[in-house]
Chain A
Amino acid sequence: MADISLVPPPVDPTGLKADSYWSKMALHKVKPGYLAGAALVSYLILGISELQHVPIWLSFALALVPWGFIMLVELEWTYKHYGWLALFFLTAFVQTIHYSEHCIQVIQIHFFGDDPHKAQAIFGLFNIEWVHFLGDSFLTVATLVLLYRFPRNAWMWVATVFQLAHQAEHSFIIYNYLFQHVTPGAPGLLASPGGFIFGGVHLIRADLHWIYNTLYTVPFVLALVTQLKRSYDEALDEAFPDVPKAELVGVSRHLETFVYSPAETVLSPGEDVERLFIITEGEAGVYGHDDNGREVELATLHHGQYFGEIGLLVPGAPHRKLIRAKTRLCVLAMDEATFRHLISLSQTTQDALTAMAGSRVTIPAV
């Protein structure tokens, strides 16, 4: 993979309002109303559970269910558009719950003076070595997969080192628990008292594992933010397969997303819109008229295909065909300056665009 170029392409000051990095974390499939509904349902579950004296772990598990569904739906969307970034989000979701448990446990011990053996946070019922080991192993595998997919993200390397240290603790503990029948909650390698290495480092297990989690979570969050800045919609890859990925990262910082409803017109004949539209979701129909003046569908454009290039390649050429959304349609719009920069990067791309435009309109000889 080539080095990531941090030099942005030239920008047309009258161009588009580029999408923010954070828009990748916004809701795309779930409507905001459902979010409010999920919050209300969770609140009701917690309230009713309290009145019915339901165990705290069960009431929180039930309250998390609506959020789990929202997460799954959004993860599917993220995977379709940004590939492995979805695993980043899933790992962040799991680690948020996991780290919250550790934080609550440390607060119970140090702020409320609870006995460390009785400080069980919310899901204390699952405070068994198997759950710790499997949960931590999931994080280790996910972290290694993310490192494999995003090896140029320096924060991933930092996060992986601390995750492996944490995993080593749980590997040691689970082995002793399973084969030597050691009491659950054992100190493991470094916790005190009785840690395997030097008798421990004067930290009880709850504190030590909170530190492990903090040392993992901080670089993981930084890695996630870094990756948000470097990820782009995979439709760009399909549209411009010959452009280096590092350049697509730069280009993606100048694109704006537009969403159209089914049957909504995107471009009308005669419009002088100097933008390239790349389809990221849904289908668009290209319409013209037959000899009798009836509207006919000439083509259907899908994910990774684009339109509007004629207005950019041929100065002053108005758009010739009607483009209308056939389904809910999401497009990335690119301004002229970014488009010029893009085609300057790859002769193959320039040839492909010219050929595509030539097939759609007769380009006047220059």
Chain B
Amino acid sequence: MTVPQSDVNSIPAAIFTLVTTLIALAIMGWIWLRTFGPSARDKAARTRR
């Protein structure tokens, strides 16, 4: 038997959503850092030299 969304406690679903979204955002942040971060800039500068 199914119930409408308004009849359930949606906090666990919200926490699950928040955690999975934060994981995805962390992956985006890691990609950003490895592409545009300080170590990427140093590497580019060394390549130019």
Contact = CB atoms under 8 A, between A and B. Distances in A.
Interface of A: 1-3, 140, 144, 147-148, 151-152, 157, 160, 164, 167-168, 171-173, 175-176, 179-184, 186-189, 194, 196, 244
Interface residues of B, number: 27
5 contacts: A151-B35, A171-B16, A176-B8, A180-B12, A183-B4
B2 A152 contact: no
B4 to A, nearest CB: 6
A180 B25 contact: no
A144 B28 contact: yes
Given A171-B16, A186-B4, A196 B28 contact: no
B35 A1 contact: yes
Interface of B: 1-6, 8-10, 12-14, 16-17, 20-21, 24-25, 27-28, 31-32, 34-36, 44, 47
A167 B24 contact: yes
Nearest to A175: B13
Given A152-B35, A181-B3, 18 more contacts: A1-B44, A140-B24, A144-B27, A164-B21, A168-B17, A168-B20, A168-B21, A171-B13, A175-B13, A175-B17, A176-B8, A176-B10, A180-B10, A183-B2, A183-B4, A186-B5, A194-B4, A244-B47
Contacts of A175: 12-13, 16-17
A3 to B, nearest CB: 8
